[in-house]
Amino acid sequence: MVKASAQAAAQQLFSAWQTPRQMDFIEEAVRPQIRAEGYAVQQALLAATGDKSIGWKIAATSAAGQQHIGVSGPIAGRLLASRCLPDGAPVSMRGNVMRVIEAEFAFRLGSDVKPLDSTALTVEQVMAQVADLHLAIEIPNSRYQDFLTAGEAQLIADFACASHMVLGAALATEWRHVDLAAQVVQVSREGEVVAQGLGANALGDPLVALTWLANELISHGMHLKAGEVVITGTCVVPVPVQESQTLKAQFPGLGEVGVVIAP
């Protein structure tokens, strides 16, 4: 995809990012058709926002999630610094067509994750570069009116449905000894548990999901960088929300993180 086409596609998306209204699909003449083109538009969109990327999200880490949005596998998107919120922060649903929250693990990289040779990185090699584990809530959104049929290249271009993220503090517990795949994760709404799942819902294991991302980026000429945060995919079925609700993502034995949906 030529740079001018990627920039033109990104400008269309950026216009939608600036308003609370969704857009139709990217114009056919500059619409990305394959993953590589999607990531090219994504990079151009990041530049257009003028914001800083603090890391990455992984979307569609379950078969059900992939089927729901019509993609062939997981997809990766940028997380913007201006949309990273602290534990307990309010978030507005204005312009949000998804209107759900997701409970996720978040890894912070201590060093760059670059290829060692021509082979794919292993879980052990990637985890050796991780500094911290956090608990997180994602509040996704799409700039497309019909995000269910946009296709993976257009979804990738739009940061893989990224919007806001609530990030808890780094865990002080010895989390490296915890089987995150078997970790119970639940979401409570107004004090009532409304969803429960396991870490394994994120591509079988959050560690595997992180490793997938590391290799996905390398295959497209990018890499994870020191200081970046990666949320590895929802551990529960996305929970519908309404204005003025208080929700918590709870990870028994590890902690919890909360968000307030603004009135």
How do the domains of the chain map onto residue ranges?
53-261
Here the tokens at position 203 are 């591509």
Q: pTM surpassing 0.95?
A: yes
**Exposed e or buried b for every residue in 166-203, given b needs 16+ CB within 10 A?**
bbbeebeeebeebebbebebbbbbeeeeebebbbbbbb
CB-count exposure of residue 249 (10 Å: 0-12, 13-18, 19+): buried
Helix (H) or strand (E) holding 219: helix 206-219
Instruction: Please compute Rg for the chain using Cα positions.
Output: 17
Residue 71 has what pLDDT? 95
- pLDDT (0 to 100) of residue 1: 73
pLDDT at 235: 98
The CATH architecture annotation of domain 53-261 reads Alpha-Beta Complex (3.90)
Backbone φ and ψ for 4, nearest 5 degrees, come out as -65, -40
The pLDDT of residue 2 is: 87
Q: What is the pLDDT of residue 20?
A: 83
* pLDDT value of position 201: 97
- Each of the 263 residues of the chain gets a pLDDT tens digit; together they read 789 999 999 999 999 999 988 999 999 999 999 999 999 999 999 999 999 999 999 999 998 999 999 999 999 999 999 999 999 999 999 999 999 999 999 999 999 999 999 999 999 999 999 999 999 999 999 999 999 999 999 999 999 999 999 999 999 999 999 999 999 999 999 999 999 999 999 999 999 999 999 999 999 999 999 999 999 999 999 999 999 999 999 999 999 999 999 99
